[in-house]
A and B are shown apart, each in its own frame.
Chain A
Amino acid sequence: MQIAISGGKGGTGKSTVAINVAVELAKKFRLVLADLDVEAPNDHLLLGVELQNEREVNQFMPKFDYSKCIKCRKCAEVCEEHAIITLKDGTPFLMPTLCSGCRACEIVCPVPGAIQEGSRLIGHTYVTPTPYNFILVTGKLREGEERSMPLVVAAKRRAKEIEKELLIVDTAAGTGNTVSKAIEGSQLLIAVTEPTPLGIHDTELILQLGKLMGIETWVVVNRADLGDVGEVRKRAEKYGARIIAEIPYSENIVKTYVSGRPIVTTDYPEAEIFRKIADEIYRFLRG
């Protein structure tokens, strides 16, 4: 089973919801939480743990053997990223930062061995035990690397290797294809939003994505007292999504957020809201 926590806009509280729901659901399931916000992974900070078990994510990069290259230019022609340029005589050169590692050049090259296996480190994945009886998998893109897709794929793959009953994925902000890659395979999508016009605008996009992917979608309204929840409700209804919780702006949440302690492990009254969200998810998964 897999569920996804997403939200369109950045900073709406995706990770807060993800870690708290994970702590609660770990009491019922053997669970893995995957932080797939590979450009800005923060779940480990919110859980107060240090990333462990680092594994490199390397990407293929063509290495030209110029003694074999026949300068046919096929590699450059086929490169959708225009990462390979050729000189007048056809000699190919790679612009490494543009290369996506897809191997199209290697596939079309007519001379065996003319394109050799090179690689570039583009980031890391981590598998970190938490004190809350679940495992955190984190993908982290290297600074300066443009493509988050390979890291999302690698981190999700590593999360899937672990024996478990439930995978919770925490996605990046936005609604591009890396977010859909993270969500892919989920039975349930939880969109965390805030009721400001900005939050509502972005929620509409994530609801659209949920609909396109054919995934049951719920909405959690964070900082619900800062705006008009009625407007969120309208959008949610339009996409057949249900609002399952409203979380008020709370200094207790901020306090626990910055101290690396999930609020569900405290006695603060707000903890109950997250427990209820976890209960709803539990009932859904147990169907």
Chain B
Amino acid sequence: MQIVIASGKGGVGKSSVTASLLYLLKDEYKLIAVDADAEAPNLGLLLGVTEWEEEREHIGAKIARINTETCIRCGICMQRCPYECIYIDDEGNYVVNELTCEGCNVCGLVCPVPGTITLEQVRSGVIRKATTKYGFPIISAQLDVGRPESGKLVTEEKEWAKQIMKELNLEHMIVDSAAGIGCQVIASVGGADVAILIAEPTPASLSDVQRVYKVVQHFHEPAYLIINKADINPGFTKLREWAESEGIPILGEIPYDSSIPKSMSMLKPFVEAFPESKASLAIREIAEKIKEEVIQ
């Protein structure tokens, strides 16, 4: 089974909750963890991974380059670039900004001088594999700074995870997705069997989780909700009301607990670092519910 954990908004505790859930599920199930937040991968850190066993470079991104020797400086490329990525440098040369280029090749197609603009394949990032000290493997992607196509990197990452699942005969893939609703999240949610949404009771988090829920609906996946930092905003009932009106089962609530940030500094799942904390008691109950209702 493939379970994706998503939140829309960043910083609501997706990775902390995921790490603790993995910790609680690891003895009963054969798992693989996938950190699909390729622009800010953190799950490995939270699971204490310090060294990666294997690393695969992903050469997939394409970047346009302009040969200043043959360029006749007509400016057509700059006019036609859909994303405004071509500029004129101090010496009057037309240059592609490699940190914003989407690799669509429109500039190359409209350039009147053949061979002046070429589309070059560059590294978009790496995908890494490690075995955590808890016994289960983790795959983590890291997009290179300023590169496009984090979604493709995540798709590749999940393919590798599937391979490992076959080799090691694993049962479940737990995918920790990125913030937002864009390509990385779509690649994370696509192909999952179930989505577990994490939100906090704030207007911003509600707005973002509603958006990611629409993506989940698009893939017709059943969704569940975990309310994190449940007590930071007493009186805010809209999150719960929304879940109820949409028929999204609430797996549980985790109170705000300073043991969570502390455990992050210790690079441990909070349920391992502070097993008796309020948050740990709450997530244990949630894990039980996941075993019964989600995984079955």
Give the total number of A-B pairs whose CB atoms are below 8 A apart: 202
Question: Residue on B with the closest CB to A108?
Answer: B109
Question: Residue on B with the closest CB to A203?
Answer: B40
A180 at the interface (CB under 8 A from B): yes
Give chain B interface residues in 179-233, CB to chain A under 8 Å.
179-183, 185-186, 201-204, 207-208, 211-212, 214-215, 218, 232-233
What 1/0 mask marks residues of chain A from 24 to 52 whose CB sits below 8 Å from any chain B CB? 00000000000001011010011000000
Question: Residue on B with the closest CB to A251?
Answer: B232
A208 vs B143: C-alpha distance in the bound complex, in angstroms? 13
- A204 → chain B closest CB, angstroms: 10
What 1/0 mask marks residues of chain B from 1 to 36 whose CB sits below 8 Å from any chain A CB? 000000011111001000000000000000000000
B290 at the interface (CB under 8 A from A): no
- Cβ–Cβ < 8 Å partners of A150 in chain B: 82-83
Give chain B interface residues in 270-286, CB to chain A under 8 Å.
none
**Chain A contact patch, size range:** 35 or more
A213 vs B265: C-alpha distance in the bound complex, in angstroms? 30
User: Which one of B65-73, B129-137, B146-154, B161-169 contacts A?
Assistant: B146-154
B269 at the interface (CB under 8 A from A): no
B102 at the interface (CB under 8 A from A): yes
Verify A45–B40 contact, CB threshold 8 A: no
A80 at the interface (CB under 8 A from B): yes
Give chain A interface residues in 145-191, CB to chain B under 8 Å.
145-150, 153, 172-181, 184
Known A-B contacts A80-B103, A107-B110, A197-B265; A184 and B208 likewise in contact (beta carbons under 8 Å): no
Question: Residue on B with the closest CB to A143?
Answer: B214
Contact of A42 among B109, B150, B208, B265 (CB under 8 A): B208
- Cβ–Cβ < 8 Å partners of A141 in chain B: 181-182
What 1/0 mask marks residues of chain B from 72 to 104 whose CB sits below 8 Å from any chain A CB? 000000001011100000000000010111111
B243 at the interface (CB under 8 A from A): no
Verify B236–A258 contact, CB threshold 8 A: yes
A226 vs B188: C-alpha distance in the bound complex, in angstroms? 30
What 1/0 mask marks residues of chain A from 189 to 208 whose CB sits below 8 Å from any chain B CB? 00000001110011001001
A45 vs B12: C-alpha distance in the bound complex, in angstroms? 16
Contact of B215 among A81, A102, A104, A143 (CB under 8 A): A143
A78 at the interface (CB under 8 A from B): yes
- B170 → chain A closest CB, angstroms: 26
Task: Tell me the B residues contacting A by CB distance below 8 Å.
Answer: 8-12, 15, 37, 39-40, 42, 45-46, 62, 80, 82-84, 97, 99-106, 109-110, 119, 143, 145-148, 150-151, 178-183, 185-186, 201-204, 207-208, 211-212, 214-215, 218, 232-233, 236, 258, 261-262, 264-265, 267
- Which 8 pairs, one residue from A and one from B, show the smallest C-beta to C-beta distance? A11-B11, A10-B10, A174-B39, A39-B180, A102-B104, A143-B214, A10-B179, A42-B204
